[in-house]
Amino acid sequence: MSNIYRIQVGCRGVITIPKEWRDQDNISDGDVLNLINLSGDVYVISRRRSKIGQVANKLANEWEKSGETLDSMLSALCEGRSD
């Protein structure tokens, strides 16, 4: 089975998940899925709620506690790459 399908958006924004995938993953009428926009034209459909936001917030809190900033980490990365 291919892992790429071309789908068409129908009336009122309805999309159809291919039957092969619905059968394979036990997706039934009424199931709730998450549509995640990764970047402009890249989307992911998932059964689970994304934890990316939670992980990003946790990292930001840890960096803040340790006194790190994005600028300091980028500077360290650039220094490491120039060695």
**3-class secondary structure, 15:** coil
- pLDDT, residue 32, reads 87
Evaluate whether 27 touches 33 at the Cβ level (below 8 Å).
yes
Residue 2 CA, distance from chain mean position: 21
Residue 37 resides in a domain = yes
CA distance 9 to 71: 42
Residue 1 resides in a domain = no
pLDDT digits (tens, 9 = 90+) for 27-56: 999 888 888 888 888 888 888 766 777 888
Domain that holds residue 20: 11-46
Please indicate, yes or no, whether the overall pTM of this predicted structure exceeds 0.75: no
Amino acid at 58: K
Residue 6 resides in a domain = no
41 and 20 within one domain: yes
Residue 4 resides in a domain = no
Residue 39 resides in a domain = yes
38 and 17 within one domain: yes
27 and 42 within one domain: yes
